[in-house]
Structure 1
């Protein structure tokens, strides 16, 4: 089990965070939903959040038939099942598994009675957005919101006690998502420093797909790294391209919590001769402007490069911040799955599973079960801190070497994607696990390791427990001790892997004159 030194937040704030009164006169008995968040080691409360601060939360509702949803999502995804491939539309999902109309009415009525204005119900019937001020939220849920200084450079917001709900709706609510920002989704991206591998193969590989321009080939020859056609060749996409399959008619959905510069994407397409259509869908106001940290640009350019005929839809939501709570990371997933615009969904953002509020993780788990029920494949990076998924990047907090995995890659209805080191793309690829933690030089020039390990929250799904023995999924390290004990085992991560080592980087256009992997745009 993950062990970490934690301090109860409610105890830490003491008298400085006075509790607000439950607002509704003569209301029914009320109950707390879940528990208050805990402060990580080294964190401290620095004051109250100003009452006028704007906040956005999502009241996530429980599905009407949780066991039935899990069963259906498994059956519809399992070849040989009588339900295999009989996917639902979002409207059908809402009618079958969303909260009941009476539950929705009661929750909305309760929120209004405590001074909140619920927004429109999500398409799946499972979440209600609320946009208000910190002061109104504190009064409505009988809690206080405080500012927290974390070790390193990041600040956060947290609630001092769990939200208080009217007893008649407590059973219908899964979580109030976004009350704290202690668990912070981050891009699972490592920028290459120096020493990128120069592949043992020519840069230009005739795949039948997108081909790089002379400028990119020259940059690759000079500094190392891989071009898109090399990666496509290494992973066997050439055969698809040669039959004319470049992804036409398919839509790839990208989950992003940062902006990107359209000029970077235009430069990539001009170099590779692609003309992919890109649609941007902002959630909760979007992710802002600018080039971002490179994650969104990398995701978009690689999706275009590998499937130049596909449509690309980028959902951009705001990440949780130090200025106020927010449910942007959850709302972005809810929009992607609830709108069901494409059947392939990719995310390279994750957070420490052990620090994520249990209710939030369960609410996300319902969304991913919905995705499976609708025939959407969700893939997510497993992290870049090896088996220590809660460890902090340099400058962002103290080291945390406890064993942990990243969410959402650890979710049972998500395919977790780990990392490898691709020494050569072929003709016979040379590849090994990405783990630079044991080499001081590698850790300096190309830090990190493929995320992976055993989940402390989820049981092992049948597609792992029933895997052929020669795959070694169930082995001496498999156990149920980390996720509650009993029969069976815990979910293991990752499920599949591909090149991710910053010493064998992807060459992309980013930030005008720079690139992840290091060549200028132009």
Structure 2
């Protein structure tokens, strides 16, 4: 079933991945329900079964044990989808009287969220089938529960089989059919019923890059020469100096969120700051959204905390005065993102800027849209790394989602040069592996990309589908990183580094907004950025570094917007433009 929202996105049946562990080990499944008002009782409005299963491409090899426990996250419907679409369009539109007049989570529930009676109905339904309720809330639209495979099969009228993956040397699990329930209310999605696509960080090591390109590692000569870290590598503080400068904003009073599929060892953050000879802000809190461990033991469920650690240090480097950095850890996207829209810091404050440096292929590319819209309605900015394969594809290592969703801010990669250690910006080109392009999930072009001067014959963008990325920042193999008790210089790169930089940069703008006595925070920035920058003029040249040299696998940089670096990287003056 398709629908078109007021932001220009066509919801289309697709694919989404959630539970992440292999068959035979404990694993987590999240189920999401949401619906348009026209849905029929017990109808799921999104797709669940992978094409390789429904078309019998993947060979069935067995069944999941009936007694194996599964952790599920049941998300209830959004009410008045058309009204929510319009509200998000208005609250994000600089020309609207509702611009940045955000709602709280409680106000969102009252206007668009599920009603209490439906919430209780779903809880009772799960309990009836043998699930134990372990969390969730009405405001987060979800109910988290644990039960055996037999309960999942009975509650949703499916059989949980195992299959040989058609392109990877592993077994995955999946339902044999689209789920159904006996509930008298419409449903949206049961996320996590398969582990066909395992989420991966948008992080690349030089050796892996060399292997992918058929060259020896010593031929990858990219490295920083003017950084403040060991071997002249870049620290997060170098990125602050390059993109923000010596201004007084530090992110004080702001809470930043990190979307993660695995936990972190705090000792790696301490080691980074010890070796960098900088002060550890000690502002990190790790929240498990569904029982996923908050630390990383180095086992199969968390082989490394490198992604998680760099997200922290890049955010802290750009905004060293952040009040809180909250890392939301979970096994499924709905469990993580639902918590991010309701779980606050110790002062009751939501994370207003959020970074996600992971990619995966969903069962259905519309699955998270209710939460993306909820974030926009609440004034939360969600930045997603665009990827590290130099292109966007629907599946595989270059899979685009969620970087090509129309409700997020997609962040590409550049190669940055500074004037000196902790010095100002000097020059910048495109990072050749910066992923972007035209949405392979056929997500319709949003209204803000239809502005005259954005998509041109020169940049070769699509006038039908969503283009990306939107913005960019340094992603080359120029950083200092620590993971699992050791550190490396100039070995890792990726748009993983760029996304938390942007989240922290916008936290500086939100600090300025708060100091002005306002609550008109940045929120979903794309409509504002595109309106300000097209056609290019003095505002654009003073707020962005326009990247005009370099290319990725399919596209070249161009003057103005392009499908390699978007509008480019930020300048300090962008903050005052955001705050206006």
Q: TM-score under structure 2 normalisation?
A: 0.67
SS of structure 2 residue aligned to 1:338? coil
1:228 paired to 2:239: no
1:247 offset after TM fit, Å? 1.3
**Residue 184 of structure 1: which of 172, 191, 198 is its match?**
198
Alignment gaps of 5+ in structure 1: 1-5, 7-27, 205-215, 320-327, 394-403, 436-447, 480-488
Deviating more after overlay: 294-303 vs 276-285? 276-285
Contact 2:287 2:327 in 1 (8 A): yes
1:289 paired to 2:296: yes
**Residue 427 of structure 2: which of 430, 435, 451 is its match?**
430
* Alignment deviations for residues 388-431 of structure 1 (CA, whole Å, 9 cap, x no partner): 434545xxxxxxxxxx7522222222101111222556755332
**Residue 322 of structure 2: which of 289, 294, 310 is its match?**
310
1:471 offset after TM fit, Å? 6.8
Which structure has the bigger radius of gyration? 1
- Kindly report which structure 2 residues correspond to 1:204-219, keeping only aligned pairs within 5 A, or say none: 204=228, 216-217=229-230, 219=231
1:500 paired to 2:475: yes
1:97 offset after TM fit, Å? 0.6
CA 1:258–1:188 in 2, change beyond 3 Å: closer, same or farther? same
Structure 1's consecutive aligned runs of 4 or more residues displaced over 6 angstroms after TM superposition are none
Task: Return the alpha-carbon distance in structure 2 between the equivalents of residues 309 and 473 of structure 1.
Answer: 43
Alignment gaps of 5+ in structure 2: 1-14, 16-39, 208-216, 299-303, 345-349, 493-580
Q: TM-score under structure 1 normalisation?
A: 0.73
Contact 2:135 2:145 in 1 (8 A): no
1:86 offset after TM fit, Å? 1.4
Contact 2:437 2:461 in 1 (8 A): no
Contact 1:382 1:452 in 2 (8 A): no
**Residue 98 of structure 1: which of 83, 94, 113 is its match?**
113
* Alignment deviations for residues 67-109 of structure 1 (CA, whole Å, 9 cap, x no partner): 1111111211222321112111111111111123343344344
Task: Return the alpha-carbon distance in structure 1 between the equivalents of residues 72 and 438 of structure 2.
Answer: 31
SS of structure 2 residue aligned to 1:342? coil
Contact 1:118 1:128 in 2 (8 A): yes
Query: How many residues align structurally?
Result: 424
Contact 2:258 2:327 in 1 (8 A): yes
- Kindly report which structure 2 residues correspond to 1:227-376, keeping only aligned pairs within 5 A, or say none: 227-235=235-243, 237-240=244-247, 244-270=248-274, 271-287=277-293, 288-290=295-297, 292-319=304-331, 328-340=332-344, 341-352=350-361, 356-358=362-364, 361-376=365-380
SS of structure 1 residue aligned to 2:190? strand
1:123 offset after TM fit, Å? 4.0
2:453 matched residue in structure 1: 469
1:478 matched residue in structure 2: 462
SS of structure 2 residue aligned to 1:363? coil
CA 1:368–1:162 in 2, change beyond 3 Å: closer, same or farther? same
1:73 matched residue in structure 2: 88
CA 1:112–1:198 in 2, change beyond 3 Å: closer, same or farther? closer
**Residue 36 of structure 1: which of 40, 49, 55 is its match?**
49
Contact 2:236 2:316 in 1 (8 A): no
* Alignment deviations for residues 357-378 of structure 1 (CA, whole Å, 9 cap, x no partner): 22xx433110010001110101
1:419 paired to 2:413: yes
